[in-house]
Amino acid sequence: MNSWKRDYGVLRPVLWWAGPLLLAAIALAFDAAKRRIPFGVWTTGPVDEVAHLCTAALALLVLARFIAAPRRFYVAALIASVAIDLDHIPLYLGLLGNEGQRPVTHSLATVAVFAAAAVSSRRHRAVLAGVATGLMLHFARDIAEGYPGVLVFWPLQDISWMVSYRWFVGMIIVFTAAQLVLGSACLPRTRISVFGTPSPSGSILRSADEPAAAEAQPSRQMPKAGQSDPRNHGADACESVKITANYMANLGQDAHGQCACDKGQLRT
């Protein structure tokens, strides 16, 4: 066990560098592939969503260095960063709108709706704010994908906005560089706590409206491996999102002690 902890301590700085670089590489590679594949719901669609998810995850890693938000905020942001494209389905079915244009829900009006709901709802504030954040990150990439652009200011303005591909590349470079530089320098020194309050131990974030007694509830029994529980399929599908969100939610915990430990490992 001690040997495993020592090896993990040596590898931790490598993981800090590898994570952001891997997300950046996947986002750029899948974005480039999407631009070269002939358009099709089942061809360019999945490729596009992978690029959206990696872009959002990279941005949220940087955001997590500045705010201490509960896990559900990051889960909601990651899901919203890809789920918003479900609004294309009515267009593809010919039920409404113009197939040559993104839906009007691809606009800041949708972000404003979720932001207003987050302000008015204390109980679901973290989830709603996460959705608004995920939508902003989705639109930030969509606007750089060329035609047909994004109706950013609908309904105030019925004009599609587009920026060059360099906007997307610049986003990835800035997010990656920020994560690597801030992580190496152990910055910022403190994080702003939002949507919740730290527990007495300082290791668990609990929502301000979440009763403390909830922590004492017995854990749900998980089905044994091999059991044909249909709910397992949904759980497996969300596993990658939960892993990323868990890492973001816990990023920065005991930052000073960990940085000192990592630096000591690097000197040996």
CA–CA distance, 218 with 238 (Å, rounded to integer): 22
Question: How many domains, the chain?
Answer: 1
The pLDDT of residue 214: 41
pLDDT at 186: 86
| Exposed / middle / buried, residue 67 (Cβ in 10 Å: 0-12, 13-18, 19+) | middle
Specify the pairing of strand 67-68 against strand 192-193: parallel
Q: How many CB atoms lie within 10 A of CB 51?
A: 25
- The reply to whether 131 falls in a domain is yes
Residue recorded with tokens 């816990």? 250
Q: How far apart are CA 65 and CA 120, in angstroms?
A: 26
Torsion, Cα of 86, 92, 96, 98 (10° steps): 110
What's the gap between Cα 146 and its chain centre? 23
Tell me if 216 is assigned to some domain. no
Cα–Cα distance measured from residue 190 to residue 192, given in angstroms and rounded to the nearest whole number: 7
Give a yes or no: residue 201 inside a domain: no
**Among 143, 117, 118, which residue's Cα sits nearest to residue 55?**
143
The residue range of the domain holding 171 is 8-195+236-267
In a domain? residue 2:
no
- The pLDDT assigned to 264 comes to 44
> Is 195 within 8 Å of 207 (Cβ atoms)?
yes
**Which residues have C-beta within 8 Å of that of residue 55, sequence separation ≥ 6?**
27, 81, 137, 140, 141, 168, 171, 172, 175
Residue 128 lies in a domain: yes
The pTM for the full model equals 0.72
Q: Domain for residue 227, yes or no?
A: no
Q: Is residue 112 part of a domain?
A: yes
As a whole number of angstroms, the distance between CA 65 and CA 97 comes to: 40
Nearest to 209 by CA among 127, 112, 115: 127
Q: Is 243 within a domain?
A: yes
pLDDT of 31 reads 96
Q: Could you list the mean pLDDT of each consecutive 10-residue stretch along the chain, which spans 268 residues?
A: 54 77 97 91 92 98 95 97 93 74 93 97 95 98 92 92 95 96 90 67 41 42 44 45 56 48 42
